[in-house]
Amino acid sequence: MSGDKAGELFQELKELVRTLRGENGCPWDREQTRESLKPLMLEELYEAFDAIDRKSEGDLREELGDMLLHIVFHAQMGEENGTFTLEDVLKQLIYKMKKRHPHVFGDTEVRNVDEVLLNWEKIKGKEKKRTHMLASIPDSLPALIRAHAIQSRVARVGFDWKDATQVWDKVNEERDEFKSAWNSGDQKAMENEWGDLIFALVNCARHLGIQPEDALQKASGRFVERFAYVENEIKKEGKGFEQVSLEEMDEIWNRAKREIRSIPNNEK
């Protein structure tokens, strides 16, 4: 598709949303607010993540469209409120991207990705007038994603372990501190040390190129799949959970691990 055609379709989408929000538009669209759209916008984001995990280009194409709709929708609200327009959003984005890539659009020289990221942080710091470099990371992010973002951000300025081996030593240190807090029975200390342990594990994952949020989601998915197997096997025997011992469930669980692991992903 040519750039001109994409531009025409983008304009059509803009007019479509304006119509939906207009006097003779859709009652549901007209009553939406920025706040009411927040959970829907988040849902679309996670549906896009799901399509990426499933490597479904068709579904991803659809979900990206849904995300784009939310952007245009919010811009239309801004136009109605007299605060900003879609054109303002695009102008600011283009200006920001050019400014933050002086090694592409200017005469700044960088030797590697690390220097690109360091320069990016310097530019952002001047733009945002932040009290500190982590201030722009939202508190509302899922905890694993936020921990990963914090660690990645400070790594850009050299505040980082040299390799995963050093981080693993830190994991063991935090594990021992958690065990000590556990033995003390101090609930607050346990919470603090457990948080430190998970934070260290996230750091280890980052050094190994593992996305902790994705890894935990997949682990949860495997658990669900295996437990569903256990549940179905118990039903096949005409029993309920109350009629099966933990040892029997554990035996079925181990069988589920063996059998599900042997099934190719494209046959599940």
| Residue-wise pLDDT tens digits, 202-257 | 999 999 999 998 899 899 999 999 999 999 999 999 999 999 999 999 999 999 99
| Residue-wise pLDDT tens digits, 36-55 | 999 899 889 989 988 998 89
CB 213 within 8 A of CB 148: yes
Tokens linked to 99: 């400014």
Q: Rounded CA gap, 10 and 12, in Å?
A: 5
Provide the pLDDT confidence category of residue 267 given band limits of 50, 70 and 90. Answer: very low
Helices 86-99 and 113-128 sit at what angle, rounded to 10 degrees? 130
> Which domains does the chain possess?
3-98 (1.10.287.1080), 100-128 (no CATH), 143-210 (1.10.287.1080), 213-267 (no CATH)
| Ramachandran angles phi, psi of 255, nearest 5° | -65, -40
Query: What is the percent of the chain where pLDDT is above 70?
Result: 94
| Residue-wise pLDDT tens digits, 102-161 | 888 888 888 888 788 777 777 777 766 667 888 888 888 889 999 999 999 899 888 999
Q: Tell me the mean pLDDT in the region 90-108.
A: 89
Average predicted confidence (pLDDT) for the chain: 90
Provide the pLDDT confidence category of residue 34 given band limits of 50, 70 and 90. Answer: very high
Q: Rounded CA gap, 253 and 258, in Å?
A: 9
CB 198 within 8 A of CB 238: no
Cβ partners under 8 Å of residue 226, min gap 6: 253, 256, 257, 260
**Confidence check: pLDDT of 266 > 50:** no
Least confident of 1-15, 76-90, 187-201: 1-15
How far are the Cα atoms of 81, 183, 210 from residue 259, in angstroms, in the given order? 58, 39, 26
Provide the pLDDT confidence category of residue 263 given band limits of 50, 70 and 90. Answer: low
Provide the pLDDT confidence category of residue 1 given band limits of 50, 70 and 90. Answer: low
Q: Tell me the mean pLDDT in the region 15-28.
A: 95
| Residue-wise pLDDT tens digits, 117-133 | 777 777 777 766 667 88
Using DSSP, how many helices (H) and how many strands (E) does the chain show? Answer: 12, 0
